[in-house]
Amino acid sequence: MNNHPNRNHIKPRPRQHLEAVGALYPQAWKQIDEFRASRGKDLPMWPDWCFAPMAAWYSIVSADNNRTSLDLQLIGDVSRLAVFGAWRLTQGIYRFDPVLYDAIIGTSVNGNLPCEVLYRLPEWCVYIETPDLMWGDSPLHGFFSYLEWDANTERHELRLLLDSENRFVSIPLHLGDWSLDDAVERMHREAHYQGMLSGIPKGYLPTIELAPLLQPLISLLLYLCSINAEIGDGSRAPKIPEPKHTKKGWRLFPAENPTTWDVGVRIGAALRQAYLIAETTGEGTQNSPRPHVRRAHWHGYWKGAKNTTVERQFSLKWLPPIAVNVSDNDELVSTVRPIHSAK
């Protein structure tokens, strides 16, 4: 049964991680509720797309460890708490159809990152499985992603927490009108600056080429945020939870169990058919080239007229591989029925 809270006896990796960090900081979830209750009152009014800024988690870790400043180990705890604190509310695990998955991770993101669409993540924090990907010499099981609002600078960041076999890797990408390469460069500059503030020797922090490694992960995220994303079976969709009224005021209640969302089941089946037809249909002639599948690409566009009071909205579509010179291509394309994800 798909798209339901997991009922397996073996808990999914993300859930195991959630329970581990919850055991390390047993009061953290109650404390973050108190921080959110002060949002826009005693604390700044951070954006709705951010569950809680890292400054709140920094405060929780500092108080729990009776510290005014944190070393690298405890900074790692801040990163993990920020991820799992946001993920525990919905606990969504996104599992792509294998054929669609291969097509998506092979779709390059050229030019500037379409940051506008990332604010439409289906949940505050998502976990995407990444079969067959590696991080260094370690299998990459998946990654968490959420949006951060820096309480000091009001900078917007896309935060990734990579779940490799051996360790977590935290990646903070600054969002703005620039490319993935530029976002990684800005991340490196900030890391070295913060490292100097913390007394870390110059040259200690790694500067490996991250952009090519992050490219497939960003593409998977962009698909979840695209207007033609197919998530689930259409009967329901992932969404950010609404607070419920209790005797003690409004509260957000976490999901009891993870929910696995199948991504791209219909379009994956259509792509398999397209590949099969292209492989089994003739060699082609000079006037009619051999059937083949044209590569997928991203298509971004603005909705709404310029110079009006209505705010324009940028949308992104993933255009799937197209079967070329296939006799029944029209019938094939009609089998793809994208389902719009919740905004």
228-250 tens-digit pLDDT = 899 998 888 999 998 888 877 77
210, pLDDT greater than 80: yes
Confidence of residue 191 (pLDDT cuts 50, 70, 90): confident
Residue 282: its pLDDT value, please? 54
Distance CA 112, CA 178 (A): 5
Residue 309: its pLDDT value, please? 56
Q: Which of 39-53, 164-178, 181-195 has the lowest mean pLDDT?
A: 181-195
73, pLDDT greater than 80: yes
Confidence of residue 273 (pLDDT cuts 50, 70, 90): confident
Tokens 């005021």 found at: 249
Residue 154 tokens, joined: 């009001």
Total residue count of the chain as it appears in this document? 343
Phi and psi of 294, rounded to 5°? Answer: -75, 145
Calculate the CA dihedral of residues 318, 267, 211, 114 and round it to 10 degrees: 20
Q: Helix 98-105 to helix 265-280 angle, to the nearest 10 degrees?
A: 80
Greater pLDDT, 193 or 187: 187
Calculate the CA dihedral of residues 232, 300, 215, 177 and round it to 10 degrees: -130
- Whole-number mean pLDDT of the chain? 83
Q: Tell me if 229 sits within 8 A of 338, measured CB to CB.
A: yes
203, pLDDT greater than 70: no
24-43 tens-digit pLDDT = 999 999 999 999 999 999 99
Q: Tell me if 15 sits within 8 A of 259, measured CB to CB.
A: no
Q: Tell me if 298 sits within 8 A of 318, measured CB to CB.
A: yes
Residue 305: its pLDDT value, please? 63
Residue 259: its pLDDT value, please? 96
Distance CA 265, CA 271 (A): 10
Residue 35: its pLDDT value, please? 95
Distance CA 160, CA 79 (A): 10
89-134 tens-digit pLDDT = 999 999 999 999 999 999 988 889 999 999 999 999 999 999 999 9
341, pLDDT greater than 50: no
Phi and psi of 33, rounded to 5°? Answer: -60, -40
